[in-house]
Amino acid sequence: MNIRVKVNGRLYEADVEPRTLLAYFLREQLNLTGTHIGCDTTTCGACTVLFDGKPIKSCTVLAVQADGHEVMTVEGLESNGQLHPLQSAFWEDHALQCGYCTPGMLMAAYGLLQTNPAPTDEEIREALSGNICRCTGYMNIVKAVQNAARQMAGENQEVIEEAAVSGTSTD
Amino acid sequence: MFPNAFKYEAPTSVDEAVRLMTEYGYDSKVLAGGQSLLPMMKLRIAAPAVLIDVNGIQDLKGWREADGKLRIGALVRHAELEHASELDDKYPLLSRTARWIADPPIRNRGTVCGSLVHADPGSDWGAAMIALRAEVEVQGTEGNRLIPIDEFFVDTFATSLNENELAVAVHVPTPGGPVAARYMKLERRAGDFAIAALAVHIVLDSEGRVAEGGIGIGACGPIPLRATKAEEALIGQPITEETIATVSRLVPEDADPADDLRGSAAYKRDLLRVFAARALREIAEELHGRVGNE
């Protein structure tokens, strides 16, 4: 079946077998191997991507179901060679060891910060409850998400202040 | 892991979906959120020859209130009800239940009706819809019918839907007085099957007595169950310490739990009693400000 799907802002057209899962389509047909496949049973969250802006587990959605929809993978986080604040914070706060769960953690955390820019530790833990890490533990992951949230709030503040100085509105 | 190969159909209307279900019969399965069906297909527990994906049917999206009911369309995802604060005043059990389902990414995809039709005895919506005395609206070739939730679950993974009937919505009655609800569940970790779960929905009359009391039991039998004896003891009563003690002792009597890796049957029964007492106490405090004595 032919599908058209926007991934990280770029439109792809591809021919997929109906049983192809979105995670495999991303990795094997689009070569976006940042999305990891862990448990394959909707448990571990390593394959988490955003589907129309919301985190989902891409091992449990068919690629044909993404036809006409927008997907964002971990490759979509950095821009112009600059790491996203979440990626920098994971690095700075040592929120990973082997890194296998990291793409899913980043996308689930990104989804949370889109709707809740200043979450509590408890809200972060709830948002990441579908993502399993088997080596770092969760302390540093929660810390990194907090740091990223603060940094992103600071960046927004700078934008607002710059706009105020130059006399333009950000609305 | 891959599912077996299947033919993929994506109808854009309910009539077309029903026509496809009639054409393919037992060889087809309906795909909504897919959060139970796709894992089962990957594990080859299910291997339908045809998948009928209903995600493109606009008529199945969203909810609306009409004729004393809230009609929740078959494509409403768990997360939509979790975050629908506008429904909290009249239908507090919906968001209280939704937030306990699986984990956030699964809640963004899985649907309320899909969970009911899947008929897992541990289904959170199963227990909640029993407490709410909901009805499932289904459409087949001979038109629509409403199935009361007590007649909907037949056995584990089996409902009273006919082969070519599509569940198009679930109807929840609008309460006629002050309402409060609790959903309680114990699980080993997010996404695991519940050890036991209990949904409690209370509507008071103008005298402060229980006008409607619904208690649904999850993960303690072949299907979600109604705590009939406890409900009978609750109706018409004020929620006092005495009522709470009596009713919570009766809840496990309608449960049918099994000994398994998650706990013994005796433990699960006691858990239901504790859940009922906690839920009723919290509901009384919310509606009355405190728990009274007779």
Give the CATH number of the domain where residue B21 resides. 3.30.43.10
A111 to chain B, any CB pair closer than 8 A? The answer is yes
Interface predicted TM-score (ipTM) of this complex, two decimals = 0.93
Closest-approach residue (CA) in chain B for A21:
B2
Q: Are residues B30 and B78 in the same domain?
A: no
Find out whether B121 and B222 touch, Cβ atoms under 8 Å.
Answer: yes
Find out whether B244 and B280 touch, Cβ atoms under 8 Å.
Answer: yes
Q: Are residues B260 and B223 in the same domain?
A: yes
Please state, in angstroms and rounded to a whole number, the distance separating the CA atoms of residues B183 and B33.
23
For A1-76, the fitting CATH number among 3.40.718.10, 3.10.20.30, 3.30.200.20, 3.40.50.620 is 3.10.20.30
Specify if B114 maps to a domain: yes
A94 to chain B, any CB pair closer than 8 A? The answer is no
Domain boundary among B155, B173, B191: B173
A44 to chain B, any CB pair closer than 8 A? The answer is no
- Please tell me what DSSP assigns to residue B55: T
pLDDT reported for residue B231: 98
Non-local (6+) Cβ contacts of A121 within 8 A are A142, A146
CB contact under 8 A, B43 and A54: no
CB contact under 8 A, B104 and A19: no
Q: Does the pLDDT of residue A104 top 60, yes or no?
A: yes
Token output for B154: 């037949």
**Burial class of residue B41 in the structure, from the number of CB atoms within 10 Å of its CB (0-12 exposed, 13-18 middle, 19+ buried):** buried
Q: Does the pLDDT of residue A122 top 70, yes or no?
A: yes
Token output for A35: 């999305």
Residue recorded with tokens 């909504």: B32
Q: Does the pLDDT of residue B264 top 90, yes or no?
A: yes
Please state, in angstroms and rounded to a whole number, the distance separating the CA atoms of residues B129 and A36.
37
Domain of B195 in residue numbering reads as: 179-288
* Beta-strand relationship, A48-51 and B153-155: unpaired
Please state, in angstroms and rounded to a whole number, the distance separating the CA atoms of residues B175 and B204.
9
Please state, in angstroms and rounded to a whole number, the distance separating the CA atoms of residues A8 and A70.
8
Q: Does the pLDDT of residue A163 top 90, yes or no?
A: no
Which tens digits make up the pLDDT trace of B95-129?
999 999 999 999 999 999 999 999 999 999 999 99
CB contact under 8 A, A62 and B38: yes
Residue recorded with tokens 């919290």: B282
Confidence of residue A158 (pLDDT cuts 50, 70, 90): confident
Please state, in angstroms and rounded to a whole number, the distance separating the CA atoms of residues A61 and B41.
12
Find out whether B57 and B196 touch, Cβ atoms under 8 Å.
Answer: no
Please state, in angstroms and rounded to a whole number, the distance separating the CA atoms of residues B251 and B276.
7
Shortest Cα distance, chain A CAs vs residue B242, angstroms: 36
CB contact under 8 A, B105 and A41: no
CA-based nearest residue to B210, from B254, B187, B177, B164? B177
Give the side-chain half-sphere CA count within 13 A for B173: 19
* CA–centroid distance for B280 within its chain: 19
CB contact under 8 A, B109 and A57: yes
Please state, in angstroms and rounded to a whole number, the distance separating the CA atoms of residues B114 and B251.
27
- Fold classification of A78-171 is DNA polymerase; domain 1 (1.10.150)
Q: Is A12 helix (H, G, I), strand (E, B) or coil?
A: strand
Please state, in angstroms and rounded to a whole number, the distance separating the CA atoms of residues B82 and B93.
10
Please state, in angstroms and rounded to a whole number, the distance separating the CA atoms of residues A98 and A38.
13
Which tens digits make up the pLDDT trace of A128-154?
999 999 987 899 999 999 999 999 998
